Each structure stands twice: as C-alpha cells, then as structure tokens.
Amino acid sequence: MSGLNGKVALVTGGTGGIGSAICVKLAQAGCKVVSTYVDEAQANDWKAKMTAAGYDFGLVKCDVGSFDDCKAMGEKVNAEYGGVDILVNNAGITKDGTFRKMSGDQWNAVLTVNLDSVFNVTKQFIDGMLGKSWGRVINISSINGQKGQFGQTNYSAAKAGMHGFTMALAQETAKKGITVNSISPGYIGTEMVMAIAEEVRNQIIAQIPVGRLGKPEEIAALVGFLASEDGAFITGANIAANGGQHMC
Ligand code: CAA
C-alpha cells in the first residue's frame, strides 16, 4: 500500500467491528487515524484496548445523522489535523423488519444514519481534498444494497443509495485527484451479523459459497488498497467482498 504515510484518515464508526479493522489497517500503512463515535463508554474502552495494542487513534464524538453535529466535528478535525485525506463512511445501523411491520421510525433511523450521513460527513471534507488535489472517499455499502434482503427494505435502500452517491461524486471529482468508491461487504463476523437470530444466520451462511462469514480484516484490506496510490485508477466502483454470495 504505497503513498499513505502521513495521510490523515477519518473513519466514521471506527470503533465498531469492520471500522476497527479499517482503523488498524490504515494506521499500519502510516496514516494518522481518527474515528467518530456516539457511545462515550464504548469509545473509551475501544481507545484503551487500541492504545494497549500500540495504536494512537484520535476520537471525535459525532452523530453522523445530524448535519449540525457533522459540521462541528468537521471544524474540529480540520483545525486539529489540517484536513482529512481519506474519508471512510463506515458508520451504519440495522433496524430489520418485514416491510409490513416496519415503522416510520425504523425507516427514518436507517436512512438517516446510513445514507444522510454520507452527505453530512463528506460535505465537511471535500473542499479540503479539492484544495490539495488529492483525496479518497470510501463508502462502506453492503451486499444487501446490491441484491436486496428480506427484512431490510430500509437498509437495502440506504446502501443502494450510497453507491448512487459514490458514482455521482466520483464523476464530479475525478479530474481533481479524488477517487470515490463503494465497498459492498457480504456477511462479516461482527456484532451486527451475530445479532441476527441463529437459525436465520445459519440459513444465510449456507448461501455463501466459500462456506463462512467474512472477516473484518478482509474488508479493511480493500480499504487500504483503494486508499493507496495503487488504487488511483479505480473510481466510481462498487467492489464486492461477499464470499461469492452475490455475483454481478
Ligand atoms: N425469504 C422468503 N421468506 C422468508 C425469508 C426469506 N429470506 N425469511 C423469512 N421468510 C418468511 C418466513 O418463512 C415466514 O413465513 P410464514 O409467515 O409463511 O411462516 C415469514 O417470512 C416471517 O415473516 P415475519 O414478518 O413474521 O418475519 P419475522 O419477524 O419472523 O422476521 C426478520 C423478520 C427479523 C427480518 C428476519 O427475517 C431476519 O432477521 N432476516 C435477516 C435479515 C438480515 O439479513 N439482516 C442482515 C443484518 S447484518 C447486515 O445488514 C450487514 C450487512 O451489510 C450484510
């Protein structure tokens, strides 16, 4: 992974399962990594664990679903770190339920946190990237944005929307040294997936040709590649990492 030494990376929801692996990967490549968080106690535990493992991550509190929160977070990060070179829009939630049972609150929460957030956060850093004529925006979408998922009209819509955003912004910024890409993980062995009822989860695993859940590190490796100089010709792409569960 060339060209990452000294770059500043912001990972939204970096204290979670996939987010943690992304933070570690980018730090190992020489980036200064900052993560957003919402839960103070969980973030402090994470920070202590990461510090013990030898990582010096920045933490900034931010509800990515709130534009005002993101604006304040952006001002703080830009002032403290001199801008963000690599933005990983990773924060996401699920509130699963079949459409007939889904409430407006379930719909709004997932669309706000998973999709509005991409606007709210990217808005704070794109001018800085344009000013430096270099930048990477990496949006963590999902297999379920590509194929849809029973019980996830909200999540599937938000994740498909993320990739629409990716393609449009990629076109607007390609000439300015910025790449914008989506990664669509399949089912990865994180708390989010372990929260699915065991019987349902086992049915899902049975549909994965490689026969197992993915590992967070397998997603982080892709982030590292896209962020590096080696990934400079890839923009507007949606890269799947799903063990063969969905091929397109
Ligand atoms: N396809 C077709 N029918 C299905 C089905 C499927 N995949 N899954 C369930 N059904 C059927 C059941 O057989 C049942 O049928 P009957 O009524 O005829 O018996 C019916 O649907 C159940 O409907 P309910 O509304 O009662 O559903 P429920 O409340 O029991 O469960 C659910 C709904 C909670 C959404 C459950 O289906 C579920 O957990 N699904 C998995 C959702 C999922 O994959 N979430 C991913 C979370 S992780 C993530 O999102 C990360 C990522 O990016 C991959």
* pLDDT tens by residue, 56-92: 999 999 999 999 999 999 999 999 999 999 999 999 9
**pLDDT at residue number 1:** 76
Q: CB–CB of 27/1 below 8 Å?
A: no
CATH code given to domain 8-237: 3.40.50.720
Cα–ligand 1 centroid distance for 151 (angstroms): 5
**pLDDT at residue number 248:** 87
Q: What residues are paired with 86 via a beta bridge?
A: 9, 136
Distance between CA atoms of residues 142 and 97, nearest Å: 17
Pocket test residue of 150, 199, 208 for ligand 1, highest count of atoms within 8 A of CB: 150
Cα–ligand 1 centroid distance for 138 (angstroms): 29
**pLDDT at residue number 2:** 83
Q: Which of 71, 79, 74, 83 is nearest to 31 (CA)?
A: 83
Q: How far is CA 50 from CA 93, 140, 189, 219, in A?
A: 23, 22, 20, 19
Ligand 1 neighbours by CB, cut-off 6 Å: 94, 96-98, 101, 142-144, 149-152, 155, 185, 187, 192-193, 196-197, 200, 204
Cα torsion 187, 188, 189, 190 to 10°: value is -100
Taking the domains of the chain in order of start, what are their residue ranges? 8-237
Positions of the chain with pLDDT lower than 70, given as ranges: none
**pLDDT at residue number 141:** 98
Q: CB–CB of 94/15 below 8 Å?
A: no
* pLDDT tens by residue, 141-157: 999 999 999 999 999 99
Q: CB–CB of 165/118 below 8 Å?
A: yes
